Chains A and B, each alone.
Chain A
Amino acid sequence: MDLSFGSEYEAFREQVRDFIDQHRDQAPKGGGRSGQAKAWQKILIENGYTARTIPRQYGGFGAEPDIIKARIIGEEFARAQVPGGMGGQGISMLVPTLLEMGSEPQKQQFIKPTLHGDIIWCQGYSEPGAGSDLASLTTSAVLDGDEWVVNGQKIWTSTAHLAHWIFCLVRTEPEAPKHQGISFLLFRMDTPGIEVRPLVDMTGNANFNEVFFTDVRVPKDQIVGKRGQGWLVANSILGFERDSLADPNASLARINALIKLMQSETVAGKRLMDNPVYRDRLMKLQARVMAMQFNDMRVLSSRVNPGQDATMARMITKLQGTELRHEVEGLAVDIMGEIGLSYGDNPYLRDGGSWQQQYMFYLGLIIGGGTSQIQKNIISERGLGMPREPKVEAGKA
């Protein structure tokens, strides 16, 4: 057990801290893609604090992959409460996919503007009839001369209303087995025939959209990988998404915020923290958050020490992390009593209404990115080697 990062890394940490101290006044205040945000992104890339391992020829910093340096950068920006590099599905999902599976012209065309915030992407995967069974998707693309003609509907498409481009799974070989008939297309969101409708969810916000395609014409070469390889292409990045949905450090920050809330909020003249039942529930969750942090350290360690196996530790992260976060938010709602109901413009809101908001939002994340039940199938079948559910024969369902 050696939890120190060593002197080389501690020096690197100092370097990151110095950078933050010297540049923090240039950091953008809000999120989004303002001019200030893009300028900040450029500074971060030039100094290697985001897009760190993306090759220079594609607009990145071009450093060797080093998981510990990446961790240190994340830790220091979080500690200083200064925004790090831009996120979004283009940067976190499409860029790694293109690096892996894209053609040279595609890499040249898309990676740099994506990293710099000039192209915003959305992801067209789920459909009304293809959720957990994503491979049964039916949005079709038929080749007509030099163009694909796309028809169908996507759902759960976050940022579709802002996106310039979409990376989209479509069925191009209707006769092939379902996993082998899918292709991965890239096309502009202002192409005629695309309609985006906001999908209001239980939080009251439109975090997602529905996207409808009617005879959308896409140039033939805007395909990543070959015809029928789309499932492979998509699977190479789903892992990225699952890990990012359940960050144990974010859960720890929420536990600490909850402790503050319980120390300041009173009911009948008594602090919430002084109620032993509430306190016990808090301590139970704090222990679980700690366990997930140590689990995360083990996963990190297995990436730097190739001899270590942390397959199961990684496999359970999405399931445990999202369920746990939902419970942390839910405890705050519970113990505030009627105040916990406050929403929207209610003057009694606590912490900007984030507890109720996140409580519901994390229920969405328990379902999204592979439901908890799908996660349990993966854990038991791939992790524990248990037998798969027998397939239902056609016509007997």
Chain B
Amino acid sequence: MEFGLSQEQTLLQDSVNRLLKDTVPLDEVRAIATGDKPDASVWQGLADLGVAGLLVPEDKGGVGLGSLDAAIVAECLGYHVAPAPFLGTAVMAPVALVGAGGQDELLGNIASGQVRVGCAFSEAIGARADAGVTANNNRLSGKAIYVLDADAEHYLVATSDKHLYLLNTNDAIKTRLTTIDATRSVCQLIFDNVLAQLISDDFDVFTKALDLGRIMLAADTLGAAQCMLDKSVAYAKEREQFKRPIGSFQAVKHMCAEMAADLEPCRSMVWYAAHAADHVEQESRLIACHTKAHLAEVGKFIAKTATEVHGGMGFTDLLGLHYWFKRIGFNRQMLGAPELIREEAARIQGIAA
């Protein structure tokens, strides 16, 4: 019995962390977030480590690893608030494509980092009054909003009946959407009776991709929140007021203890959720929902508390702590906010009508 990361997984974690530390420091994050620089080199660096093809099978040009490995990478990305199209291109799209079968060439191109595949799932989870996608004879009509990754070449679009279609970016009218989190890019896609390729009409393929996406968002929050906690502890040890480090005041140290106490079980939860996604089928959906929702709550608490520990500096752009705050906020809302997901958790158990 071993509940934890294997040696290989620890190595993966170390190498991704090292790459991000060296190549995506806060200045670089800022340059990409403000639009001064594209994120292409970040993604190529990660692809060279095998991150883009992590979930693509080996015979299709990928690394063929599992959900827990992907969660480890997501945690690293969150820790460094790294701008990268990981969630859609390296997780949700490959999981759906592999689940549906076929598309070997596209999977190979994903794995090499040459091609990005965005994911338009929001309408299938809960369509807004002014959006929604329908299919008729393989032709898509309607509007998808909050589509992951504005810079993708292809999009995997989930319709209201949870069927998945693949189309080229040129076949949609694309508008970039500004959100609080500038380390992620999202867009709106409008389809005007355009031809698309049906990838899957299997509900399980859709939910598998969605569950994995949710676990990755939770893992990203785990990393981002851990970083905020680490920064808070370091700041509280260094910053002095009333002739002593503010971290010696119980009011401040208890804020840090509360963050640590809430966050530590989250690490085990994210690991288990990712493990269950591959190995414990009967529990995997419920755990994915609970993990996404729980990390959203803990993340929200830590984003606020860590900012407060930093006092006025936490509020400034100078320190850049807000990138983590906003990242955690994005992870909370995306692919289902906590209240919606908890209702899903109740339905999965058969205790909600």
Tell me whether A279 is interfacial, beta carbon within 8 Å: yes
Query: Is there an interface contact between A290 and B250, defined as CB atoms closer than 8 Å?
Result: no
Query: Is there an interface contact between B345 and A283, defined as CB atoms closer than 8 Å?
Result: yes
Query: Is there an interface contact between B237 and A294, defined as CB atoms closer than 8 Å?
Result: no
Nearest opposing residue in chain B for A1, CB measure: B275
Query: Is there an interface contact between B3 and A297, defined as CB atoms closer than 8 Å?
Result: yes
Query: Is there an interface contact between A389 and B250, defined as CB atoms closer than 8 Å?
Result: yes
**Known interface pairs A279-B343, A294-B272, A380-B254. Does A316 touch B2 (Cβ–Cβ under 8 Å)?**
no
Query: Is there an interface contact between A312 and B266, defined as CB atoms closer than 8 Å?
Result: no
Mask of B240-272 contacts with A, CB within 8 angstroms, 1/0: 000011011110011011101110111111011
Docked Cα-Cα span, A387 to B267, in Å, equals 25
Tell me whether B143 is interfacial, beta carbon within 8 Å: no
Query: Is there an interface contact between A288 and B351, defined as CB atoms closer than 8 Å?
Result: no
Nearest opposing residue in chain A for B268, CB measure: A294
Query: Is there an interface contact between A279 and B268, defined as CB atoms closer than 8 Å?
Result: no
**Known interface pairs A1-B3, A287-B294. Does A379 touch B265 (Cβ–Cβ under 8 Å)?**
no
Give the contacts of B189-205 with A (CB-CB under 8 A).
none
Docked Cα-Cα span, A301 to B294, in Å, equals 23
Docked Cα-Cα span, A18 to B17, in Å, equals 50
Query: Is there an interface contact between B68 and A1, defined as CB atoms closer than 8 Å?
Result: yes
Most buried by A among B68, B265, B291: B265
Total chain A interface residues with beta-carbon distance under 8 A: 55
Query: Is there an interface contact between B1 and A6, defined as CB atoms closer than 8 Å?
Result: yes
Tell me whether B353 is interfacial, beta carbon within 8 Å: yes
Tell me whether B297 is interfacial, beta carbon within 8 Å: yes
In the assembled complex, how far is the CB of residue A65 from the closest CB belonging to chain B, in whole angstroms? Answer: 15
**Known interface pairs A300-B3, A316-B265, A319-B261. Does A290 touch B253 (Cβ–Cβ under 8 Å)?**
no
Docked Cα-Cα span, A312 to B260, in Å, equals 8
Most buried by B among A3, A5, A373, A377: A3
Query: Is there an interface contact between B254 and A373, defined as CB atoms closer than 8 Å?
Result: yes
B residues less than 8 Å from A4 (CB atoms): 1
A residues less than 8 Å from B287 (CB atoms): 290
A residues less than 8 Å from B256 (CB atoms): 380, 384, 386
Query: Is there an interface contact between A387 and B268, defined as CB atoms closer than 8 Å?
Result: no
A residues less than 8 Å from B332 (CB atoms): none
Point out the residue from A280, A305, A373 that lies within 8 Å of B343, measured CB to CB: A280
Tell me whether B342 is interfacial, beta carbon within 8 Å: yes
Tell me whether B339 is interfacial, beta carbon within 8 Å: yes
Query: Is there an interface contact between B257 and A379, defined as CB atoms closer than 8 Å?
Result: yes
Tell me whether B318 is interfacial, beta carbon within 8 Å: no
Query: Is there an interface contact between A313 and B68, defined as CB atoms closer than 8 Å?
Result: no
Mask of B205-234 contacts with A, CB within 8 angstroms, 1/0: 000000000000000000000000000010
Total chain B interface residues with beta-carbon distance under 8 A: 48
Nearest opposing residue in chain B for A276, CB measure: B343
Tell me whether B77 is interfacial, beta carbon within 8 Å: no
Query: Is there an interface contact between A384 and B260, defined as CB atoms closer than 8 Å?
Result: yes
Docked Cα-Cα span, A274 to B233, in Å, equals 43
Mask of A1-42 contacts with B, CB within 8 angstroms, 1/0: 111111001000000000000000000000000000000000
Tell me whether B293 is interfacial, beta carbon within 8 Å: yes
A residues less than 8 Å from B339 (CB atoms): 280
Nearest opposing residue in chain A for B275, CB measure: A1
Tell me whether B236 is interfacial, beta carbon within 8 Å: yes
Most buried by B among A6, A280, A291, A301: A291
Query: Is there an interface contact between A1 and B264, defined as CB atoms closer than 8 Å?
Result: no
Tell me whether A388 is interfacial, beta carbon within 8 Å: yes
Tell me whether A98 is interfacial, beta carbon within 8 Å: no
Tell me whether B346 is interfacial, beta carbon within 8 Å: yes
Point out the residue from B6, B237, B294 that lies within 8 Å of A386, measured CB to CB: B237
Query: Is there an interface contact between A313 and B268, defined as CB atoms closer than 8 Å?
Result: yes
Give the contacts of B165-192 with A (CB-CB under 8 A).
none
Tell me whether A320 is interfacial, beta carbon within 8 Å: yes
Query: Is there an interface contact between B257 and A380, defined as CB atoms closer than 8 Å?
Result: yes
A residues less than 8 Å from B244 (CB atoms): 387, 390
Docked Cα-Cα span, A160 to B322, in Å, equals 55
A residues less than 8 Å from B290 (CB atoms): 283, 286-287, 290
A residues less than 8 Å from B343 (CB atoms): 276, 279-280, 283
Tell me whether A186 is interfacial, beta carbon within 8 Å: no
Query: Is there an interface contact between B258 and A305, defined as CB atoms closer than 8 Å?
Result: no
A residues less than 8 Å from B249 (CB atoms): 389
Docked Cα-Cα span, A262 to B346, in Å, equals 13
A residues sitting closer than 8 Å to B (CB atoms) are 1-6, 9, 68, 259, 262-263, 273-274, 276, 279-280, 282-284, 286-288, 290-292, 294-295, 297-298, 300-302, 304-305, 308, 312-313, 316, 319-320, 373, 375-377, 379-381, 383-390
Extra inter-chain contacts (16) besides given A287-B345, A316-B265, CB under 8 Å: A1-B5, A273-B351, A276-B343, A283-B342, A284-B297, A286-B290, A295-B265, A301-B4, A308-B4, A319-B257, A320-B265, A375-B257, A375-B261, A377-B254, A377-B257, A380-B260
B residues sitting closer than 8 Å to A (CB atoms) are 1-6, 68, 233, 236-237, 244-245, 247-250, 253-254, 256-258, 260-262, 264-269, 271-272, 275, 279, 287, 290-291, 293-294, 297, 339, 342-343, 345-346, 351-353
- Sorted nearest first, the 6 A-B pairs with minimum C-beta distance are A294-B268, A301-B3, A376-B257, A283-B342, A380-B253, A295-B265
Could you name 10 residue pairs across A and B whose Cβ atoms are closer than 8 Å? A259-B351, A279-B343, A279-B346, A279-B352, A287-B345, A288-B294, A298-B267, A304-B1, A320-B261, A389-B248
